[in-house]
Structure 1
Amino acid sequence: MDQRVVVLGTPIDNLSMSETLKSIATAIENSDHLHHTVVNAGKIVSMQKDPQLRESVVNADIINADGQGVVWASKLLGKPLKERVAGIDLMEELVGLASRNHYKVFFFGAKEEIVRSVVQHYSELYSPDIIAGCRNGYFKKEEESTIARQIADSGANILFVAISSPTKENFLYQNREVLRRVNFIMGVGGSFDVVSGLVKRAPMWMQKVGLEWLFRVYQEPRRMFKRYLVGNARFLALVLKYKLLKVK
């Protein structure tokens, strides 16, 4: 896209939430196909040493900055992004769009009880008519192509994949030809856990100041401490490298 800039060696579309939603809505209305992904500090760090993940991300049609840290880094490096476009916020907006325009949504990922809870939540909030189908996120590698075909055959206009990185990015990229029958596809990480109520989202003030990660550590210290503390330190080192060495 012509709004794309490169931050920390990663292409990112300099789009606001409203601009992103407009692009997606137009694609669905025109029966086109868009592959969407987001990047945050941890994913950009992982992309430095994971060529498969990098390939899966950079070939997406829209790449948004999900993490506030990425937005800050873009400003420090002289390539300011307009704003953070959080995946979970985008997902919520798109489910509302599906309800208004009679689109179908497929929910793929998380534990069985979690994805079922998400489907129930949106069915009650909007209507069961928006549900194209759902499936938990536990599967063997050899099952991927079958799952992709099932999603494509469901009649879904929108697909949300709530699986951890790099599995969700690689699934969407490696099955991109089959999934072209779905107008819009995106990974949403742990969003289903939040929608189901299993995990609480950080207060708005923490989101705005870039401390959402700290709230996650507070809720799940054993699982998240090393992930965020080490990941954030590596991200900071990467930013300093690009700033001091003026790497493009």
Structure 2
Amino acid sequence: MNYRVVSLAISAGKYKGFVDNAIKLGTNSISSYVCVANVHMCIEAYDNADFARIVNQADLVTPDGMPLAKAIKLLYGVEQDRVAGMDLLPDLLAEAEKENLKCFVYGGSEKMLANSEAYIQEHYPNLQCGFHSPPFRALTTEEELADCDRINNFGAHLVFVALGCPKQEKWMAKMKGRIHACMLGIGGALPVMIGMQDRAPAWMQKASLEWLYRLGQEPKRLFKRYAYTNSKFIYLLMKQKLGLLK
């Protein structure tokens, strides 16, 4: 079941159900993708109909941010678990290790992937995981094909895509039917997991203030984005609540 929040059809269910569904898709080598949605993605989708289609055609759209989980409660009276990429990533790696599934990390800098490889070897010693850092420019057709072959030949069941929103969602949609695995757009979850960035304290997460913590870490990059997306999200959410949002 899905619940519409502004521009996105958010998948409903308990946190564990999302983990189980992703593992099932990966185990069966079903070419699929999971979007981990937050306020930024919601507004990107509202402003761009093509991007909204990409996200809403995903096999799962998780409520990454507490604002989306609380929006479901406000609009539909339903308690919805937060399903954050920062929680999904380590939990899925642990499940993949347990189920003997292969993982692949696609995206991020060479330094980040080197740190990720060391972290995964230490914390998930029995997990087989591949890594690739593509160029930050647009890929050629030949490069795209080579990346598909690299991931498929590795035999990946789960592909963690760390290209950032909206690039990673567009890439996953393009690769559906070509990469025989469950792809998950994990955004900034990877650097947090391996300790390159800090995560907000639990009380800020529960109070929907994780964005404020991130703003304090990267004020120059995030101030303009948050000023626009957060205020627009609240405005559109109120319109939807009043039945005025088309």
TM-score of the alignment, normalized to the shorter chain, above 0.5: yes
Q: Which residue of 2 aligns with 1:77?
A: 75
Report the secondary structure of 1:185's partner residue.
Answer: strand
Matched ranges for 1:141-156 at <5 A: 141-142=139-140, 143-156=143-156
| Equivalent residues of 1:110, 1:163 under 8 A apart | yes
Runs of 5+ unmatched residues, structure 2: none
Report the secondary structure of 2:68's partner residue.
Answer: helix
Q: Which residue of 1 aligns with 2:239?
A: 241
Identity of counterpart residues, as a percentage?
29
Deviates more, 1:119-128 or 1:56-65: 119-128
Matched ranges for 1:101-112 at <5 A: 101-112=99-110
In 1, Cα distance between the equivalents of 2:124 and 2:243?
51
Give the letter for the 2:103 counterpart: V
In 2, Cα distance between the equivalents of 1:206 and 1:136?
34
Match of 2:225 among 224, 227, 243: 227
Q: Which residue of 2 aligns with 1:138?
A: 136
| Equivalent residues of 1:149, 1:178 under 8 A apart | no
1:67 and 2:65 aligned: yes
Distance 1:137 1:217, change over 3 A: farther
Deviates more, 1:95-104 or 1:130-139: 130-139
Aligned-pair distance for 1:148? 2.7
Q: Which residue of 1 aligns with 2:86?
A: 88
Give the letter for the 1:159 counterpart: V
Give the letter for the 1:27 counterpart: L
TM-score (norm. length: structure 1): 0.91
Aligned-pair distance for 1:129? 4.4
In 1, Cα distance between the equivalents of 2:224 and 2:213?
14
| Equivalent residues of 1:41, 1:231 under 8 A apart | yes
Aligned-pair distance for 1:139? 4.1
Q: Which residue of 2 aligns with 1:177?
A: 177
| Equivalent residues of 2:161, 2:186 under 8 A apart | yes
Distance 1:149 1:78, change over 3 A: same
In 2, Cα distance between the equivalents of 1:85 and 1:30?
22
Aligned-pair distance for 1:132? 3.0
Q: Which residue of 2 aligns with 1:24?
A: 22
Aligned-pair distance for 1:81? 4.8
Give the letter for the 1:161 counterpart: V
Runs of 5+ unmatched residues, structure 1: none
